[in-house]
Structure 1
Amino acid sequence: MNSAAADIAKGLENIPIKYTVLSSIDGEKGKLYYVGYPIEELVEHSSYEEVCFLLLNARLPTKSELEETVKILIKERDLPSEVWKIVKSFPRNTPLISVLRAGVDLLALFDEEAEQNTPDARMSVAIRLISRIATFLAAAYRVRKGLEPITPSEDLPHAANFLYMATGRRPTPLESKIIDVAFMLHAEHELPASTTAALVVASTLSDLYSAVSAGIGALKGPLHGGANEKALEMLLEIGSPEKAEEYITKAIAAKQRIMGFGHRVYKNFDPRALILKKYLEELSKIRSDMSLLQIADSVEQVMAEKMRSKSIFPNIDLYSGPVFHLLGLEKELFTPIFAVARSVGWMAHVIEYWEDNRLIRPRAIYSGPPPRKYVPIEER
């Protein structure tokens, strides 16, 4: 290996590439803020719609501004008739996250403002895509299940409407609150791989749809998305609280990753995990099914005994999988839901970056052979 390899920032770990007002993470204390507001306060008092306005405008809306945002999100829910037809033709054995990525590119073709690069057009496109990407995912999911897509509601909140369109059942007030909280918690998280991918594309002055498509492509990778699916599978495989210690002990001995634990930034509890755990408790009681919560608690206790010295704490994925499961959502939806909720964060970062845009063009350190003469194929 080239001795210069020491100069490489592998994975760009801890390398700042932009200033942002959108979110800040205190990994040591386990704190997350959106535009300075603690995530705990937003979850308690706000809504996904208000968080969307907050991230896109870097401030909280007035009452009239929030009402207008909600009105536009509802107005934009329906898909163009051509898209409704095309969504029924997608292959049913393709990963749903890939279908969603194709859907974003498809939606771009039917948005007259997609290629416009004015501040007003960007905001209009962002709100439209936030609304339509949720409708598209729910429709694509139902088509895969052999079911008819459901027309969007004109009165349900954004996240609750998605739950309704996916399951075919109007959510209860508690279910509506929980899916709204889940969307808020997934809306923004600084610069993970997906947001960085979106920024790289946007830095070329491409469009918002292309940036979101890139974000989805990055999220598809198992090192970024899919952890909550694996965490749920782990809990189901363990099967009962008393089997947690044996399972975790064997997994650690085999040097297997324990899904739902650890984070590149948090060296303490992921605050999003603490919030979702509380709602998982409420949902489990309503469902009269405490099994997943009890197994997760046992896994958390075992991990605390064995791994706390290494600062490995529960993250959001440990609880988001069980929450989605109890809401009636299947595993193949988990990562696409992440993308739908995070779409606002991706676009907010892109719009912010465009205020002082610079093409992202890193360098590579050459580590191959020195210059040499080409050898004709007859002489090789």
Structure 2
Amino acid sequence: MTEQPAADGTRRLTTQEAALTLGVKPATVYAYVSRGQLSSRRDPVGRGSTFDAGEVEALARRSRREAAAPAGELSVRTSLTLIEADRYYFRGVDAVELASRHPYEEVAEWLWTGGLPRGARFTAPPEALAAARRSVAALPEHSGPVDRLRVAVAAAAVTDPLRFDLSEEAVLGSARCLVPTLAGALPGLGPAPGDGATVARELWSRLTEADPEPRALEVLDLALALLADHDLAASTLAVRVAASARAHPYAAVSAGLGALEGPLHGAAGRLAHRMLVEVLERGGAAPVVAEYLRAGRRVPGLGHRLYRGEDPRARALFGRLDGLAQAGPALDAARDVAAVMARHGLHPNVDLALAVFTVSCGMRAEAGETVFAVARTAGWIAHALEEYQERPLRMRPSGQYQGPRPPQPVP
């Protein structure tokens, strides 16, 4: 290395030298600077920037430790979502406050770029939307929402010749097209929206036959914004693993949908919806909760491993649902469930709040799962964007072999 001594005696590295030390591309060095992981200084002689050698070497050591960490000890640097003290934040901003003031599209842009373009709208390309709709229509009628979304993603990907371009500009272009394509590819149930509709309005006509009421649409948009990201859930980690292997953004989103299909992740909203319907039919929560517990089943819609108190997303949705006239009975049923379970110290989570919304608006049991998947696409893309700036294939834990020691006879 041709290290440059600074006036204060510290060692300075050029961009190329820093990239070599870190094992990344020069562009990634500047991404570290933008995220505050490295500081830079303009070279007074040359045209580029220089970097403190000590900072670069410390970052390289952290990266090597992360790569060498045993399975189960993976720690992923992210600047997107922080969860602490029963609150969560998008890029340092209170996520509930952000989602309460800005529509889903603007919250997505904030996660992707750190900017808030007012009046942001996403438009599905006609070719991608047509391909996605044809593919979804070919599925059996009993197909679930995640089945349809996975097929829609694959169809949309094939129509995008730029999907293998992993530059930030190209990935953002794909993201702004993919989200509305997913919403628009699902089978229509209600009145179709006009051109330039929001994601919430487009999705509404895929969830219920009812006419869109402004206040109900506001609740749906709030739910989308609140669910846009939630740190490293299982589906988000799957997205980052795919992005680490440099899978294009459509493939990364497909990985997230695959993880979401599991019963321990994406099905929670459906279970909460069915429980709430049963409580309404039987006139109270006590007999329903008793049957769940007698069967050894977990009562859905309560508790969250990341929050000791009430899920802040649930609190925000319940507050907005209070102003929705048709939500009264379902809200009372949810509060009854919470009261019955109060002795267990469990508080309502976002799945129960989302179930109140879907039941109130005459939606099917899988509606909450659909809302979650479309909403979380924004977060998945944000995490993929971050991962594309990291060292490729860094998420490669070593297996701990537990089988018989070789040599063994050939069977």
Q: Do both share a fold (TM > 0.5)?
A: yes
CA distance in 1, matches of 2:170, 2:274: 42
Match 1:111 to one of 154, 157, 160: 160
Q: How far is 1:295 from its partner? A: 1.4
When residues 340 and 294 of structure 1 are mapped into structure 2, their CA distance, relative to the original with a 3 A threshold, is same
Q: Which residue of 1 aligns with 2:230?
A: 189
Report 1:155-174 matches (<5 A). Answer: 155-167=196-208, 170-174=211-215
Contact 2:109 2:115 survives alignment (8 Å): yes
Q: Which residue of 2 aligns with 1:4?
A: none
In terms of Rg, which structure is larger? 2
Q: Percent identity?
A: 32
Local SS of the residue matching 2:138 = coil
Q: How far is 1:166 from its partner? A: 4.3
Taking CA–CA contacts closer than 8 Å with sequence separation of 6 or more, which of the two structures ends up with the larger relative contact order? 1
Q: Which residue of 1 aligns with 2:195?
A: 154
Q: Which residue of 2 aligns with 1:357?
A: 391
Q: How far is 1:79 from its partner? A: 4.3
Contact 1:135 1:152 survives alignment (8 Å): no
When residues 209 and 152 of structure 1 are mapped into structure 2, their CA distance, relative to the original with a 3 A threshold, is farther
Match 2:363 to one of 329, 344, 349: 329
Q: How far is 1:274 from its partner? A: 0.7
Cα deviation digits, residues 278-330 of structure 1 (max 9, x gap): 223222xx22x6322111111111211x211xxx3221011101202223321
Q: Which residue of 1 aligns with 2:93?
A: 37
Q: Which residue of 2 aligns with 1:307?
A: 344
User: Does residue 85 of structure 1 match 2:122?
Assistant: no
Report 1:232-243 matches (<5 A). Answer: 232-239=273-280, 243=284
Local SS of the residue matching 2:179 = helix
Local SS of the residue matching 2:322 = helix
CA distance in 2, matches of 1:78, 1:300: 47
Q: How far is 1:335 from its partner? A: 1.3
Q: Which residue of 2 aligns with 1:179?
A: 220
CA distance in 2, matches of 1:240, 1:92: 27
Q: How far is 1:255 from its partner? A: 3.3
CA distance in 2, matches of 1:262, 1:273: 11
Q: How far is 1:277 from its partner? A: 1.3
Contact 1:184 1:341 survives alignment (8 Å): yes
Q: Which residue of 1 aligns with 2:42?
A: none
User: Does residue 207 of structure 1 match 2:207?
Assistant: no
Q: Any unmatched runs of 5+ in structure 1?
A: 1-7
Match 2:334 to one of 273, 289, 296: 296
Structure 2 counterpart of 1:358, which letter?
Answer: P
What is the root-mean-square deviation in Å for CA atoms of aligned residues? 2.4
Local SS of the residue matching 1:66 = coil
Structure 2 counterpart of 1:192, which letter?
Answer: A
Q: Any unmatched runs of 5+ in structure 2?
A: 1-68
CA distance in 2, matches of 1:109, 1:187: 25
Structure holding more helix per residue: 1
Contact 1:34 1:55 survives alignment (8 Å): yes
Q: How far is 1:242 from its partner? A: 6.3
Contact 2:128 2:181 survives alignment (8 Å): yes
Report 1:121-160 matches (<5 A). Answer: 121-137=170-186, 139=187, 142=188, 152-160=193-201
| Farther-moved stretch of structure 1 (87-96 vs 220-229) | 87-96
Cα deviation digits, residues 46-71 of structure 1 (max 9, x gap): 111110110001x232xxx334x32x
CA distance in 1, matches of 2:224, 2:206: 15
CA distance in 1, matches of 2:135, 2:87: 43
When residues 291 and 86 of structure 1 are mapped into structure 2, their CA distance, relative to the original with a 3 A threshold, is same
CA distance in 2, matches of 1:89, 1:247: 38
Q: Which residue of 2 aligns with 1:346?
A: 380
Local SS of the residue matching 1:239 = helix
Cα deviation digits, residues 224-280 of structure 1 (max 9, x gap): 011111112112223368632343245335432110112221122110011111223
Structure 2-normalised TM-score?
Answer: 0.77
Q: How far is 1:90 from its partner? A: 1.9
Structure 1-normalised TM-score?
Answer: 0.83
CA distance in 2, matches of 1:346, 1:192: 10
Structure 2 counterpart of 1:367, which letter?
Answer: Q
